[in-house]
Amino acid sequence: MKIQAPKGTRDILPSEIHRWQYVSRVFAGLCDSFGYKEIRIPVFEYTELFQRGVGDTTDIVQKEMYTFDDKGGRSVTLRPEGTAGVVRSYIENGMYSLPQPIKLYYDITAYRYENVQKGRYREFHQFGVEAFGAAGSEIDVEVISLLHMFFEKLRLKQTGLNINSIGCPACRKAYHEKLKDFFRPHLSELCNDCRNRFDKNPLRIIDCKNEECRKFIDGAPLLLDNLCDECRNHFEGLRSGLDNLGINYAIDPKIVRGLDYYTRTVFEFVSENGGSQGTICGGGRYDGLVEECGGPSVPGIGFALGVERLLMELDIQGVAIEEPPAPDIYIATMGQRAVDLAMQMVYKLRGHGVQAETDLMGRSLKAQMKYADKKRFSYTIAIGDDEIEAGKGVLKDMRTGDQKDVSLDSIVDRLKNQVNQAK
C-alpha cells in the first residue's frame, strides 16, 4: 500500500517554502513594530475550552473539530483556531495583572474537519493577533490598520475592508426577539442548522450560506439599526478612526462572523479581484470571552488570517515573491587530502554565515562542477594535491566566468568578505 499524506493535508516543499517564510517574516516584523509580541500555544487543548470559547452553536464545534479522549479519558481537541487558546493562556498566566493592553500575535497550524477545496485544508496555517484590556475603538482601529499595512507591504492591492457592529449582549437580546419574529413564519423552510440556531443563537442564521435560507436572510432586520447608544458611539469611533488614517472601508450590515464570541466591531478584508471573490481574513471584538473562559471581565479584539488563502490571493493578483539567492560557494575536491581540507573550510565558512558546500557523494571532479552549476552556486574552487602543495587554488565566479588565484591560507577570510560584500 502506498502511504500518502492524509486528506486535507499537504507538504510544503523546499521549492516553495521561501514564499511561506517571506510572508511570515513580513507579518512578524510588522507586529513587532506595532508592539505585538509572539505567543506560542499548544496544538491541543481540553475540549471544554472550545465549547465555551468558540461557542457550541458554531459549525466548528458542532461539525469540524478533531476531538478524542486521551489515555486518561479526558476529552482533548486539536485547536481549530487560535483565539481560545490565547485567551486561556492570558488567564492561566495571569497576564491580566500586567500593564494593559496585552498585545500578542501568533503563527500557528490549526485543524478542522471540513470539505477540502482549493485554498482550504484540514490542517491549515493562521496568522493572528489578540489584544486585551482596551475597551475603546482606538484598539479596533489599530488592529485593522495592522492588517491594512500588512497587505500594503505585500503589495496586495485589490482588497476591500468591510466593517459592521453586532452590538453587545444588551443590544442583541432585543434584536434576537426581532429576528425570531421575522424567521418564525419561515422556520419550516430553513435548513436544519438554522432551525437549531433559532432558539440558541438566531444571529447565526444571518451567517448561513445555504441558498434556500439566503432568500429569507436578505430581508431580515439589521442589527446595525438596533444598536444601543454605547455600541453606536463605539462604531462611530471606529469609523472616525479609520477615516483619520485614510483607510477606506465599506459598511456591510450582514457581517456577523462565524464564531459566537464576537461583540461590537466585526470586520473582513475581501478580495476585489474578479477571479477570487471571497474573504481573505476577518476578526472583531470579544469583550465577554475572557470572562466566559473563567477570567476577569477584560475586553479583547483580534483577527485570524489563513496563510494558504493569502498565498493563493498573492498568486491570483500576480504578486511575485522573490526566490532566495543562489548558494554561495562550492568547494570541489580531488583526493582525500582535499576532502579533509574542504570539510574544514566549509565548516569555518558556515560559521561566518556563508552558504558553503563540498562533495558528499564521491563524485568525479567533472560531476561535482556539473552539480555546482545546476545548483547555481555563485563561486566554486577546485582543490587537489597540486593546489595543496602550491598553497593556492583558482576561485571562479560562476555568474561572470571570471577566475583568480587565491591563497588557501587566506581563502576563508577572502571568501567570507567577498560573499558578504556581494550580499
CATH number at residue 359: 3.40.50.800
Among 221, 247, 262, identify where a domain stops: 221
Domain around 297: 17-168+228-316
CA neighbours within 13 Å on the CB side: how many for 45? 26
Whether 324 is covered by a domain: the verdict is no
Same domain, 366 and 389: yes
Same domain, 195 and 140: no
If one counts the domains in the chain, the total is 3
Q: Compute the C-alpha angle 331/337/342, nearest 5°.
A: 25
List, run by run, the mean pLDDT of 10-residue segments along the chain (423 residues). Answer: 90 95 97 98 94 74 88 95 96 97 97 83 95 97 98 92 91 82 81 80 76 77 88 97 97 77 91 73 93 94 95 92 92 95 93 93 95 94 92 90 88 76 66
Tell me what pLDDT residue 277 has: 59
Same domain, 296 and 366: no
Whether 2 is covered by a domain: the verdict is no
Tell me what pLDDT residue 215 has: 76
Same domain, 161 and 189: no
Among 257, 283, 316, identify where a domain stops: 316
* Calculated CA dihedral for residues 121, 122, 124, 126, nearest 10 degrees: 110
Q: Is the peptide bond between 327 and the residue preceding it cis, with omega within 30 degrees of 0?
A: no
- 3-state SS of the chain is CCCCCCCCCCCCCCCCHHHHHHHHHHHHHHHHHCCCEECCCCCEEEHHHHHHHHHCCCHHHHHHCCEEECCCCCEEEECCCCHHHHHHHHHHCCHHHCCCCEEEEEEEEEECCCCCECCECCEEEEEEEEEECCCCHHHHHHHHHHHHHHHHHCCCCCEEEEEEECCCHHHHHHHHHHHHHHHHHHHHHCCHHHHHHHHHCHHHHHHCCCHHHHHHHCCCCCHHHHCCHHHHHHHHHHHHHHHHCCCCCEECCCCCCCCCCCEEEEEEEEECCCCCCEEEEEEEECCCHHHHCCCCCCCEEEEEEEHHHHHHHHHHCCCCCCCCCCCCEEEEECCHHHHHHHHHHHHHHHHCCCCEEECCCCCCHHHHHHHHHHCCCCEEEEECHHHHHHCEEEEEECCCCCEEEEECCCHHHHHHHHHHHHC
Write phi, then psi, for 222 (nearest 5 degrees): -100, 135
CATH of the domain at 57: 3.30.930.10
Same domain, 47 and 155: yes
Tell me what pLDDT residue 109 has: 96
Same domain, 309 and 415: no
CA 421 to chain centre: 34
Are β-strands 75-78 and 44-46 bridged in parallel, bridged antiparallel, or unpaired?
antiparallel
